Amino acid sequence: MNKFVKCLALTSATGVAILTTSSPAKAALLTWYLDGVTFDDGGTASGSFQFDSDTNQAGNVNISVTGGSALSASDYELSGLVNANIANFFGLRNSDNRFFQVVFEFDSSLTNAGGTVAINTTRNLSFEATCGDLNCSFLTDPGRFITAGTVTAVPEPLTILGVGTALAFGTGFKRKLGKGKKK
């Protein structure tokens, strides 16, 4: 086999590996995880939500908060996706008639590339509180503020797998080409 055909085979195999193992073109819905989120009453928050910065949609929320001196433990869930202004904040009401709001203020918005983003705690906009009525049109005490925490996301594993597979194919073919030159 001449050098051109071998190079063509290597390029084709790498392209096929990338195309067959990476995801089809779609919205880049990332799962963001709460990490180290604490409240001023000693409670904590953990869990995740999904967000796509291309479509500005958030959802599939599953957040649990532990009890502290001001509020007891509670869960916040939202299935499906909704349009959101999550670049600034998102808020949820739960079945216990409580409201959880996390405000993300940082140098750059949540992106589909993932990363770690700090939750702003300096302006007292990230909190959990009690709804004042059934529609949660106003909040009352007791409440508590978030004092620390971040959110973290990583790109979907199939994209990483596709790159890894392409590199493995390329390395394999390069070795095969190298053995052919020695003969």
Residue 124 tokens read as 């007292």
**Taking all residues of the chain, what is their mean pLDDT, rounded to a whole number?**
73
How deeply is 22 buried, as exposed, middle or buried, from its count of CB atoms within 10 A (0-12, 13-18, 19+)?
A: middle
Q: Are 150 and 118 in contact (CB under 8 A)?
A: yes
pTM above 0.75, yes or no: no
DSSP string, 132-163: SSTT--SEEEEEEEEEEEEEEE---HHHHHHH
Kindly state the average pLDDT of the residues 80-90.
61
Which tens digit of pLDDT belongs to each residue from 35-67?
999 999 999 999 998 888 888 777 888 999 999
Which residues lie across from 98 on neighbouring strands?
130
SS3 50: strand
Which tens digit of pLDDT belongs to each residue from 140-172?
888 999 999 998 998 866 545 554 565 565 566
Cis peptide before 142 (omega within 30 of 0): yes
